[in-house]
Chain A
Amino acid sequence: MSAGGNGDSGYETIIGLEIHVELDTVSKMFCGCPTRFGEDPNTQVCPVCLGLPGALPVANWKAIEYTIKSGLALSCEIAEFTQFHRKNYFYPDMAKNYQISQYDLPICTGGHLDVETDDVSRRVGITRVHLEEDTGKLIHVGGEGRIAGADYSIVDFNRSGIPLMEIVTEPDIRSPEEARAFMAKLRSILLSLGVSDCSMEQGSMRCDANLSLRPAGDTELGVKTEVKNMNSFRALVRALAFEVERQTKVLQAGETVEQETRHFDAAKNITTSLRTKEYAHDYRYFPEPDLVPIKVERAIVADMAGKLPELPDARRMRFIESIGLGAHEAHLLSDTKPMGDFFEECVDGGADPKAAANWILGELSMHLNATGLEIEDCAVTPKHLTQLLKLLDEGTISGKIAKAVFEEMYETGKLPGVIVDEKGMTQISDSDEIGRVVDAVLAENPKAVEELKAGKDRAIGFLVGQVMRLTKGRANPQMVNDLIKERL
């Protein structure tokens, strides 16, 4: 059973996700203010996103386009007629005390996303994808950092009005691990569409989960809790695993789960009760009269569908079927767009696909992890790797040397050819030259020679190693091997 599962408790875990994604548009959802992150408080604002009296919203078509694209990528139905509604509730981070959102006519409905985990592949239904505006940010001073008990609170409206795409799934997810896999896949799709930077840490991708348990085999849903404040994939898995365990205990004790909102505390790895549903808001949704309903022309949708970039799933299949990669490598390389692009550039440049895949997933990924860099930010480009693979393939350098060259080019950004020339790392493939060293090594190591003759194959490794040592790794290892065998 995967992490966080409820094993043999006899309960089935039911999870539905509600994901908010800040769209990467230049301007806000309903005004022309910039969406830049990290600017001084209340500097990216205007009468509209401050909710000043008399100001009116104008919808940002780019955000609608991004939402349609996302919907298409999630196999959704794109509405022909869509409308914004007002969601009414009072909170100081809401400039107008209503949020312009969508209600019964969202832009996208009824899609799905197939998710693989170690155990299973599952189709997760997408209920809807809609568009709304983000709120401002509250900072509570004094007390415990929450609004209750704070001495005072201050508001930054820079975030107010940033386009927010909400994706709601069906309760089709069956474990915290699956929830993580869903989020990871969704993220890679949205990244390849270029609609958001999808950073959970910076809050441009946020996720709430509805989680309930039911006796295995039951068809009715149990009482759910809503879990909030999961700011990383890790937090998501941990919070949900905790919640599964907590609800299991409650049910096993013969008690009932209370319907409530729970807050994940990442420091303690637990969820705590935030508020019960008794205080559920009546949002008094009604059509936003300041915006005209939107007719989405079919031709525009068809055009967008035709222009969608290749999505991770399709790319993975192509890597397997046309390029001949194994399923695992193909999955890893297609998961994020930059990694896949890097790989394809290498192949287009003439690199052997399998070798390129091995180097990207091995040496390069290891270095990226160690230095905390993204593939597009590091000094090694597809051109570097392709050249390195060529040097290897031609026998100019050995595999061992190649690793040293990689190290150097990762650090300096120099092309491998340059590094090899500068340091005289060219592989020795001259059999006379290698032969002389082999002779010397055999003469110096009579014991190993005896062992080899006696049939101990292990000894050949030692002898090859000695030749490599003396040639500073530059001798062609296959030739060394052959020459030793020849001489005995």
Chain B
Amino acid sequence: MELNELAISRLFPMRVMNQTNATQICEAFLAQIEGRDDKIKAFLHRVDADEVLEAAAAVDKHAAASSELVPLEGMPVALKDNLCTIGMPTTCSSKILKDYVPPYNATVVDRLADQKAIVAGKVNMDEFAFGSSTESSAYQVTANPWDLSRVPGGSSGGSAAAVAADMAAFALGSDTGGSIRQPASFCGVVGLKPTYGLVSRYGLVAFASSLDQIGPITKNVIDCAAVLEIIAGKDPADSTSVDREIPSYTGKLNGKIEGLKVAVVKELMGHGFQKEINFALDNAVLLFEQLGAQIEYISLPHLEYALPAYYIIGPAEASSNLARFDGVRYGHRTADADDMLEMYMKTRAEGFGAEAKRRIMLGTYALSAGYYEAYYGQALKIRTLIIQDFEKAFADHDILLSPTCPTTAFKQGEKLEDPLQMYLSDICTIPANLAGIPAISVPCGVASGLPVGLQIMGKHFDEVTLLNAAFAFERAFGWNLKPMFRDPSAKEK
């Protein structure tokens, strides 16, 4: 196996035992990016190879003189392009932020830098994270490493594809309605949306402020825990980040889940789902049972309304969050306009893609005088009911299970013209965002050569139990498949 195929949980001990070093690791990843990314198209901006190797050399020099190594040191990371990075473009895959270079780092970027993780580049996403396929990017279509004719999922499609294709040791994504978990599921990697408020959003270009969370996309659950313990924790710059003790998530992984109370959510299974997805879920449930967990099937009656509520709240907040892209201070500005209003209108007409415009209009409408109560007000009420549903469920259970997605990765272009079909892709993941609870996707099977993801949802701030359950499952399931970079178009020729 090449170094870049290994998880951080393998690479770190090798570094500790001097079997490898950051330079070798980075060289392997750089070679992979060089060899694969022309097909995958995950990276929007690649950090210069010399720069990466220089940083790796610095890590090695430091490591030689120090007895204290940390896991993320020297590990190349792919950052979703909505995370602000000093001196590096941050476009949100939108034309309106073409060439925009922020003067500050997102808090999570600084925290990774403190660990001496090395940024390999910025990766593709749906424009402003609006989408489930990464196809709404203004710049490029990213391919699923398992099948290049399929989408990697979205909106953090570039992050998941980069990790699945062994082009980054780990990645950060953002998850507003499933944007970390769904692509992780499509690409056969692990993706976690932490509890709302656990990870600082400072420097994450906002989609829907009350739903957005940054989280890791990794090769396995240990890596996920290792990244989370670095990025989690109160940030004075984000009022919604919560001040609480951050445990050692990796230290708490023991794989013992005997007696764990597990519930399967009836509303998030079966109906209209691809049948292999249901099989994979049944298998997963069986495995949990064998591991000593107690299984129950429960109902969360208001989840039925999660999707419509989400498509009011998300766009409403987005319509306001995206108002700042007006051509006045930064980003794209139209070349010809005679007055202020025309400048605004042309700039935004030229700068935003179709899905962004659709959501801005939806959200503006939902907040308008006379409609606010009927839409936004109602959606907030549903959100409260869903939160109560989860509270009840978690009174008797430790974790909840569901598929991450109703389907495996779909074909590029398949749902592009049908926004509603695209929206349905997030039906299992949206409830966790509305409730603010943590949820993780771990690989749980393969269907027609494509990975299937299991979603595990946990209690507020109980990432310890959530990650340990995921870890136990992962170990018992023994996921060891790798994408084959299958290219159906090449066969046809």
Binding site for B on A (CB under 8 A): 47, 50-59, 86, 88, 90, 92, 95-98, 147-148, 153, 155, 282, 284-286, 289-292
A285 to B368 Cα, complex, angstroms: 9
Q: Does B367 lie within 8 Å of A286, measured CB to CB? A: yes
Contact in complex: A92, B328 (CB < 8 Å): yes
Interface string of B445-470 (1 = CB under 8 A from A): 00000000000000000000000000
| A290 touching B84, Cβ below 8 Å | no
For residue B103, CB closer than 8 A to chain A, the reply is yes
Q: Are A289 and B367 in contact (CB under 8 A)?
A: no
Q: Which of A56, A88, A147 contacts B237 (CB 8 A)?
A: A56
Contacts A/B (CB < 8 Å), 24 sampled: A47-B102, A47-B103, A51-B329, A52-B84, A52-B102, A53-B84, A53-B205, A53-B324, A54-B82, A54-B83, A54-B106, A55-B202, A55-B203, A56-B237, A56-B238, A58-B238, A59-B239, A88-B320, A95-B324, A155-B328, A282-B368, A284-B367, A286-B367, A290-B206
Whether the Cβ atoms of B103 and A98 lie closer than 8 Å is no
Tell me if B240 counts as interface (CB < 8 A to partner A).
yes
For residue A288, which residue of chain B has the nearest CB? B209
Q: Tell me the nearest residue of chain A to B83, going by C-beta.
A: A54
Using a Cβ cutoff of 8 Å, how many contacts connect chains A and B? Answer: 104
Please name the residue on chain B nearest to A88 by beta carbon: B320
Tell me the B3-19 residues at the A interface (CB within 8 Å).
none
Contacts of A57 in B (CB 8 A): 239
Residue of B nearest to A91 (CB): B340
Interface residues of B in 238-284 (CB under 8 A from A): 238-240
B211 to A, closest residue via Cβ:
A289
Partner of B320, one of A86, A155, A282: A86
Q: Residues of A contacting B208 with CB < 8 Å?
A: 289
Is A56's CB under 8 angstroms from B339's CB?
no
- Asked if B323 CB lies within 8 Å of chain A CBs, one says yes
Question: Are A289 and B209 in contact, CB atoms less than 8 angstroms apart?
Answer: yes
For A88, list chain B residues within 8 Å (CB): 319-320, 323, 367
Apart from A47-B102, A289-B208: 16 A-B pairs, beta carbons within 8 A = A47-B103, A53-B206, A54-B203, A55-B104, A56-B239, A90-B344, A95-B324, A98-B320, A98-B323, A147-B340, A284-B364, A284-B369, A286-B316, A286-B320, A289-B209, A291-B239
Return the chain B residue nearest A51 by Cβ: B324
Select the residue from B203, B210, B240, B323 with max chain A CB neighbours within 10 A.
B323
Once the chains are docked, how many angstroms separate the CA of A54 from the CA of B206? 6
Q: Contact at A289–B317, with CB atoms within 8 Å?
A: yes
B236 on interface, CB distance cutoff 8 Å = yes
Main secondary structure, interface of A, reads loop
Most buried by A among B106, B206, B368: B206
The count of chain B contact residues (Cβ–Cβ below 8 Å) is 45
Partner of B324, one of A58, A97, A153, A285: A97
B-chain residues with CB within 8 Å of residue A59 when the two chains form the complex = 239
Distance (whole angstroms) from the CB of B230 to the closest CB of chain A: 19
**Which of B171-215 touch A at CB < 8 Å?**
201-206, 208-210
Check B323–A90 contact: CB distance below 8 A: yes
Which residues of B in the span 105-122 have a Cβ within 8 Å of any Cβ on A? 106
10 smallest CB-CB distances across A and B, nearest first, come from: A97-B323, A289-B209, A284-B367, A289-B210, A53-B205, A54-B203, A54-B84, A54-B205, A282-B369, A96-B324
How many whole Å from B344's CB to the nearest CB in chain A? 6
Q: What 1/0 mask marks residues of chain B from 49 to 74 whose CB sits below 8 Å from any chain A CB? A: 00000000000000000000000000
Bound-complex Cα distance A84 to B39 (A): 47
Q: Looking across the interface, which residue of chain A has its beta carbon closest to that of B340?
A: A147
Nearest residue (CB) in B for A147 is: B340
A128 CA / B419 CA spacing, docked (Å):
44
Which residue from chain B places its CB closest to the CB of A286 in the assembled complex?
B367
Flag B342-370 by CB within 8 Å of A: 1 or 0 each: 00100000000000000000001001110
Is B90 in the interface zone, CB < 8 Å from A?
yes
Complex contacts, A54 vs chain B, CB 8 Å: 82-84, 90, 102, 106, 201-206
A57-B239, A284-B364 known; A92+B340 contact, CB < 8 A: yes
Contacts of B239 in A (CB 8 A): 56-59, 290-292
Q: Nearest CB to that of A50 among chain B residues?
A: B329
- Given A90-B344, A155-B328, A292-B240, decide whether A52 and B103 contact each other with a Cβ distance below 8 A: yes
| Interchain CA distance A245-B319 in the complex, whole Å | 44
Does B410 lie at the interface of the complex (its beta carbon under 8 Å from any beta carbon of A)? no
> Inside 8 A of A51's CB, which chain B residues have their CB?
324, 329
Complex: how many Å from CA A96 to CA B323?
7
Chain A residues closer than 8 Å to B210, beta-carbon distance: 289
Note all chain A residues with C-beta closer than 8 A to B83: 54
Closest to A281 in B: B369
**Which residue of chain B has the shortest Cβ distance to A280 in the bound complex?**
B369
Query: In the complex, what residues of A have CB within 8 A of residue B106's CB?
Result: 54
Interface string of B298-339 (1 = CB under 8 A from A): 000000000000000000110110011110111000000001
Chain A residues within an 8 Å CB radius of B104: 47, 52, 55
B376 interface residue per 8 A CB criterion: yes
B100 at the binding interface (Cβ < 8 Å): yes
Rounded to whole angstroms, the CA-CA distance of A96 and B319 in the bound complex is 12
B440 within 8 A of A: no
Given contacts A51-B329, A92-B340, contact A56 B320 (CB under 8 A): no
Q: Chain B residue with minimal CB distance to A90?
A: B344
Residue of A nearest to B328 (CB): A92
Bound form: Cα–Cα A92–B333 in Å: 13
B92 CB-CB contact with A under 8 Å: yes
